[in-house]
Every structure is written in structure tokens, then in C-alpha cells.
Structure 1
Amino acid sequence: MKCFKASRQVQRFLSIHDPINNLIHLRRDHRPASDQRAARVRDFAVCVEMVGAPLAA
């Protein structure tokens, strides 16, 4: 909680962060690099659709 003033702020941040992180997190040891790149492009497109703004790379 270093940069958060209240536990409610932490919970709000995590409720948004975790689903997006789970969507983007790829198991690198089970995919070839070309599949990883294609999945990353697809996942970022979904995030942009959900959030409404592009994410910083």
C-alpha cells in the first residue's frame, strides 16, 4: 500500500488491474514467439476495446 492512502483505493485498483493482467499474461514456455506476438496484439486490441484508450507499451 505504499502509494495508496486507503485500502479502498487498493481494492479498486486491483479489481481493474487483475482481469487485464490475467488476459495479457502469457505462458512463454508453452508458445512459439510468433504465437506470442499474435496473441499480444489480439489481447491489446481487447484491452483497448474494454478501456476505450490505448495502453502504454
Structure 2
Amino acid sequence: MEEMLLERGIVVSYETIRRWSLKFGAAFARSLRRKAARPDDLWHLDEVRIAIRGKPHWL
């Protein structure tokens, strides 16, 4: 997160991110759990497990 903000010219410390997470993290997580998934929602995966000839591979 620090690097993402730094790219935009915003300098924050690790402690700032930690405090923000403590203050807003629980409410944000509750709102995500409350929202029901819709058929037209888009999901982006960082990695996927596939099996080729029975051997698992991670992409």
C-alpha cells in the first residue's frame, strides 16, 4: 500500500497504514460480507490451480 500511494506522490508510513486498518478495516470487511454477489459481478483472480495430466500447477 505504501508503494501504491508513493507512486501517486502521497508519503505514508507503515504505522499510518496499520492505524487505518485498525480503524476502518472491520467496518469495510462487514460491508463486503453483507453485499450479496450478483451474476454480473466481475471477479479477478491473482492465481489459479489447474491440473495437467493429473499434476497440479499454479498460474
Give the TM interval when normalised to the shorter protein. 0.3 to 0.5
Q: Output the TM-score relative to the length of structure 1.
A: 0.39
Q: Output the TM-score relative to the length of structure 2.
A: 0.38
Structure with larger RCO (C-alpha < 8 A, sep 6+): 1
Greater helix content: 1
Larger Rg: 2
Greater strand content: 2
